[in-house]
Amino acid sequence: ETGVTQTPRHLVMGMTNKKSLKCEQHLGHNAMYWYKQSAKKPLELMFVYNFKEQTENNSVPSRFSPECPNSSHLFLHLHTLQPEDSALYLCASSQAAGASLTEAFFGQGTRLTVV
Amino acid sequence: AQTVTQSQPEMSVQEAETVTLSCTYDTSESDYYLFWYKQPPSRQMILVIRQEAYKQQNATENRFSVNFQKAAKSFSLKISDSQLGDAAMYFCAYRSAWKTSYDKVIFGPGTSLSVIP
């Protein structure tokens, strides 16, 4: 248990559906991330939030829309996805620079299948 | 831009033996952090070991140790006395220590480790 919780664990959605992924951490971290993990590909950083402000958008298509209402919660809103968006979506959090712990803590991921 | 390379897509080791996973990275920065993460079939990404670039001493965590060669930009992971529970995907990762980009944790493509009973 890393202290980062993602829901749902599995999600199957049609290309016309709208769904949201949720991530929650109560570790006191200031930064939260969304990563996409596809088969046979490296982890892809999608979005980064620092102190609730988006500081990184790694050329992610607009059909993925992140939301960070506070430092403990992060959402990824999904709409009109494509089959190639099927992947494992991982949320992570970390402390800010200068802190003693520099590593990211990960959730268990949401396995997304777009049909 | 920083990159992380793991040249061994798959490795296997006999139980109780020692295995070394390779990682190289490219950066122009002098201050950074390096990590090895483990991702078992349960999908939970777990930190195995961490190394600060300014420290010359190699990090050690129980059966896990690293060989950090800063000049060669190499960061290998050695697993001693391998156990069945060590079977997983292992990712090498880089994080800048600079405040402006500290939040970018860059991962290598991973090495799948199998442990043979």
Q: What is the mean pLDDT of residues B44-67?
A: 93
If contacts are CB pairs under 8 Å, which of residues 25-84 in chain A contact chain B? 31, 33, 35, 41-43, 45, 48, 50, 55-56
**Order of strands across the sheet that contains A4-7:** A4-7, A18-25, A73-79, A64-70
pLDDT confidence bin for A99, thresholds 50/70/90? low
DSSP string, B36-95: EEEE-TT---EEEEEEETT--SPPEETTEEEEEETTTTEEEEEE-S--GGG-EEEEEEEE
Q: What is the mean pLDDT of residues B9-23?
A: 97
Residue in A2, A97, A111 closest to B102 by CB: A97
Contacts of B97 in chain A (CB under 8 A): 97, 102
Is the predicted pLDDT of residue B1 greater than 80, yes or no? no
* C-alpha pair distances (Å), B33 with each of A2, A12, A80, A104, B72: 20, 37, 38, 11, 15
Q: Percent of chain A, pLDDT > 90? A: 64
What is the per-residue pLDDT for B15?
A: 97
List pLDDT tens digits, range B28-43: 988 899 999 999 987 8
pLDDT confidence bin for B63, thresholds 50/70/90? very high
Alpha-carbon gap, residue A59 to A81, rounded angstroms: 16
Q: What is the mean pLDDT of chain B?
A: 92
What is the per-residue pLDDT for A52?
A: 79
Half-sphere exposure of B10 (CA within 13 A, CB side): 4
What 3-state class would DSSP assign to B105?
strand
Tell me the two tokens of residue A40: 């046979």
Contacts of A90 in chain B (CB under 8 A): 45
Half-sphere exposure of A92 (CA within 13 A, CB side): 30
List pLDDT tens digits, range A21-60: 999 998 988 889 999 999 878 888 899 888 778 877 778 9
Q: What is the mean pLDDT of chain A?
A: 89
How many CB atoms lie under 10 A from the CB of residue A96? 14
Q: Percent of chain A, pLDDT > 70? A: 94
pLDDT confidence bin for B9, thresholds 50/70/90? very high
Alpha-carbon gap, residue A97 to A30, rounded angstroms: 10
Alpha-carbon gap, residue B6 to B67, rounded angstroms: 14
What is the per-residue pLDDT for B99?
A: 61
How many CB atoms lie under 10 A from the CB of residue B91? 24
The per-residue b/e assignment along B67-78, b for 16 or more CB within 10 angstroms, e otherwise, is ebeeeebebbbb
Q: Do A41 and B104 touch (CB under 8 A)?
A: no
Which residues, 6+ apart, have CB-to-CB distance to B69 below 8 Å?
B75
What is the per-residue pLDDT for A100?
A: 58
pLDDT confidence bin for B103, thresholds 50/70/90? low
List pLDDT tens digits, range A50-76: 877 887 777 899 999 999 999 899 999
A109: exposed, middle or buried (C-beta count within 10 Å: 0-12, 13-18, 19+)? buried
Which residues, 6+ apart, have CB-to-CB distance to A27 below 8 Å?
A3, A4, A93, A105
Q: Phi/psi zone of residue A3: left (φ > 0), alpha (ψ -120 to 50 degrees), beta?
A: left
Q: Do B107 and A106 touch (CB under 8 A)?
A: no
